Structure 1
Amino acid sequence: MTDTRKSTQNAVGAPGRAADGLAARLVVERGAFRLDVTLTAAPGDVVALLGPNGAGKTTALRALAGLVPLAGGHLRLDGAELDRTPPESRPVGVVFQDYLLFPHLSALDNVAFGPRCHGASRAEARAQAAAWLERMGLAEHAAAKPRRLSGGQAQRVALARALATHPRLLLLDEPLAALDARTRLDVRAQLRRHLADFEAVAVLVTHDPLDAMVLADHLVVIEDGRVVQEGTPADIARHPRTDYIAHLVGLNLYRGQARGHAVQVDGGCVVTTTEDLTGPAFVAFAPGAVTLHRERPAGSSARNLWRCEVAGLQSHGDQIRADLTGELPLAADLTTVAAAELDLRPGATVWATVKAAQTHAYPA
């Protein structure tokens, strides 16, 4: 994605320019909650903010937009201080979760609203809006009011409205959350293409790890108002550092002390790995790496073996996910047929095995 964003002219003729991107430390205090998050991004970068409900993601986005005042820190965009710049004067475009299109205006006039507010004549604004709708594949819907648009079409109109002012910072608050699963798939692909052409900084808030992995170059994970991990999607997925992130990317994660190829997990259990480490470490493995047995296996080549109890069963895609407690609490994925053959049910005793080659250990 990065290479395609380095153009110096966007699709509707706004000239590109050299820029410094985003450099911010956002300190916000709201009652007992304190947000303290540092964000940096170069022009062309897409940054995704991930985190559980109440972590501070939307607060961070609103602080960038100027809708929430900073209690400390700084906010610089392209080298300019924005801390005290009113929201309407910031070179920032926002796509809200519910899009907030003006219901009495056509799609064309919704998009033209921004250029008009920035001093363009009615004819100029409508010409720019028409170009943006053409780019979004919505030219035939220019005269339609929001109530006549599908969810995916409304999302693209909202994106066009945000981009029509040529912002240096684009903020997207759960832009796909209001869409059904099929529409979400299509619109996610379209949004990826539009973000690839955006030559300034984009910051995306989402609860969906797939949205983040597909759309963003860099992930920033926030918990309790602070950054707990950041990096590329691949790095975050391979090296989760909190239970929330591990659950997000679908891994069993443990922290402990490494001694050679063994990690002594907090709580006493040992996980054997192929990595050779010393000191504080994380060890992770996928639920699909777990094999379950009703009797203790005698001839298994797996280096890891734990006695567990089935705490619960739930459908997980086309598989069954077993939540296990016991020597090592973990999640295991297996087919419906395998679950039936094992006669799995809550309270049943099972033996879980994992090959050392299917674990991954890294420094904590």
Structure 2
Amino acid sequence: MTGRTRVTVPDATADGLDARLVVDRGAFRLDVSLAVAPGEVVALLGPNGAGKTTALRALAGLTPLTGGHLRLDGAALERTPPESRPVGVVFQDYLLFPHLTALDNVAFGPRCQGASKAQARARAAEWLDRMGLAAHAGAKPRRLSGGQAQRVALARALATQPRLLLLDEPLAALDARTRLEVRAQLRRHLAEFEAVAVLVTHDPLDAMVLADRLVVVEHGEVVQEGTPSHIARRPRTDYIAQLVGLNLYRGEADGHTVRLDAGPALTTTEDLTGPVFVAFPPSAVTLYREPPAGSSARNHWRCEVAGLETHGDQIRADLTGELPLAADLTAVAAAELDLHPGAEVWAAVKATQTHAYPV
């Protein structure tokens, strides 16, 4: 979805990142394996408390590993202090030095690497120009907009020529309009980045647009990974299903019939046997106030409206009953059906609009 050239996942001896990040913190344990090839952007995605930031801090050397390994381009980094790692970090709040100009903020990294002041400033000026910020080289952070500050922080990270670029919620501090513009710019810069990039985010759109591959973390463990399109089409947990906007159920398939673990049976177009997931979007659900006699939908259930909320230009109905699910409909349709919390409705879904796949 990024328009980038897809790369294969590296093996343990290839260039790139090969890590198993094990961090024990009392009752919480992180155990996440990552293999990322040079030129690939991987997004760590997950709910709050899943372990994404802990993983990022472990990669940066800010949180020590209690187990596992961390190799970058074949070199072990477990005992390498943070300041000696070939790693660039863009923090959520950017953490620019408030007393330095944009130019000197970007020049700071090269200076720490031993470049002369003139060399460091020349490299910084080049990066600011690439970011479209040449006119703001003399500005201090308080004079920069959120989008400009984000690009200065990215330039500062890239000016050190890192072999691993870490981005911690890089767009979270931006307003919606600026976020749209900066996301497009960041996508372009990441497409040009030749080393490994790892993005941490809880925003599915950021992950889908910016990353070649998603690694979904819940409770300190990887629960699913794959391309954005694969994750969106075949979610394997409730969190992922909600993230990509699908109703998701697990059950036992026998041909075109799936007996759900918690709920009724579903008819699907796929002919499967054994444990499966079944998913369908809220937009595939049609609501009726009476049983849908003569409907072409073979799947229909009696439900009750638990809640209603605006969802873009649609109304999302949260339904409980025979099959808990979410349904999207227009405001006009919601009014015609006289939907309100507690209203009894019938929900129907055509088999052709469901998608079943093996567990």
Question: TM-score interval w.r.t. the shorter chain?
Answer: over 0.9
For residues 151-162 of structure 1, the aligned pairs below 5 Å read 151-162=146-157
Deviation at 1:32, TM superposition (A): 1.0
Please list the CA deviations of residues 266-310 of structure 1 after superposition, one character each: whole Å capped at 9, or x if unmatched. 124111100010000000000000000001111210111111000
What SS does the corresponding residue of 1:257 show, helix, strand or coil? strand
Q: 2:73 aligns with which of 61, 69, 78?
A: 78
Inter-partner Cα distance in structure 2 for 1:51 and 1:337: 35
Q: Distance in 2 between matches of 1:158 and 1:262?
A: 53
Aligned to 1:204: 199
2:10 match: none
1:103 aligns with 98
Match of 2:327 in 1: 332
Could you tell me which of 107, 111, 115 is aligned with 1:116?
111
Instruction: Return the alpha-carbon distance in structure 2 between the equivalents of residues 67 and 262 of structure 1.
Output: 51
Using the alignment, how far apart are the partners of 2:166 and 2:282 within structure 1?
A: 35
In the alignment, structure 1 segments of 5+ residues that lack a partner are 6-17
Of 217, 224, 245, which residue of structure 2 is paired with 1:229? 224
Residues 293-312 of structure 1: matches in 2 within 5 Å?
293-312=288-307
| Equivalences, count | 353
Structure 1 residue 4: deviation in Å? 9.4
Q: Residue 240 of structure 1 aligns with which residue?
A: 235
4+ residue stretches of structure 1 with deviation over 6 A? none
Equivalent pair of 2:6/2:212 in contact (CA under 8 Å): no
Return the alpha-carbon distance in structure 2 between the equivalents of residues 4 and 275 of structure 1.
Answer: 29
For the residues of structure 1 that align with 2:293 and 2:117, how far apart are their CA atoms? 80
* Corresponding position: 1:347 with 2:342: yes
* Paired-residue identity, %: 83
1:30 and 2:32 aligned: no
SS of 1:113's equivalent?
A: helix
Equivalent position amino acid for 2:357 in 1: Y
Q: 1:116 to 1:55 in 2, by over 3 A?
A: same
Per-residue deviation, 1:2: 3.1
Instruction: State the secondary structure of the residue aligned to 1:3.
Output: coil
Determine the C-alpha separation between the residues in 1 that align with 2:98 and 2:113: 21
2:129 and 2:263 map into 1 onto residues whose CA distance is 62
2 CA distance for matches of 1:64 and 1:276? 44
Q: Which residue of 2 aligns with 1:146?
A: 141
Q: Tell me which of 130, 146, 152 is aligned to 1:135.
A: 130
Query: Cα offset for 1:313?
Result: 0.3
Q: Indicate if the aligned counterparts of 2:213 and 2:227 stay in contact, CA closer than 8 A.
A: yes
- Quick check: 1:271 aligned with 2:262? no
CA distance in 1 between partners of 2:126 and 2:323 (Å)? 58
* Alpha-carbon distance in 2 for matches of 1:297, 1:271: 16
1:258 positional shift: 0.5
> Residues 148 and 19 (structure 1 numbering): CA distance in 2 closer, same or farther, change over 3 Å?
farther
Residue ranges of structure 2 left out of the alignment (5+ in a row)? 8-12
Does the Cα contact within 8 Å between 1:26 and 1:73 map onto a contact in 2? Answer: yes
Matching of residues 148-227 of structure 1 within 5 Å: 148-227=143-222
CA distance in structure 2 between the aligned counterparts of 1:277 and 1:3, rounded to whole angstroms:
34
2: CA distance between counterparts of 1:99 and 1:76? 26
In the alignment, the residues of structure 1 paired with residue 290 and residue 220 of structure 2 have an alpha-carbon distance, to the nearest angstrom, of 46
Change (3 A) 1:282 1:19: closer
Q: Are 2:6 and 2:40, in contact at CA under 8 Å, matched by a contact in 1?
A: no
Pick which of 295-304 and 252-261 moved more. 295-304
Following TM superposition, by how much is the alpha carbon of 1:180 offset from its aligned partner in structure 2, in angstroms? 0.2
One-letter amino acid of the structure 2 residue matched with residue 195 of structure 1? L
In structure 2, what residue type is equivalent to 1:233? P
Cα displacement (A) at 1:19: 6.4
Partner Cα distance (1:45, 1:218) in 2 = 8
Partner Cα separation in structure 1 for residue 183 and residue 27 of structure 2: 36
Question: Hey, what does 2:315 align to over in structure 1?
Answer: 320
Moved more, 260-269 or 215-224: 260-269
Distance in 2 (CA, whole Å) between partners of 1:277 and 1:136 is 51
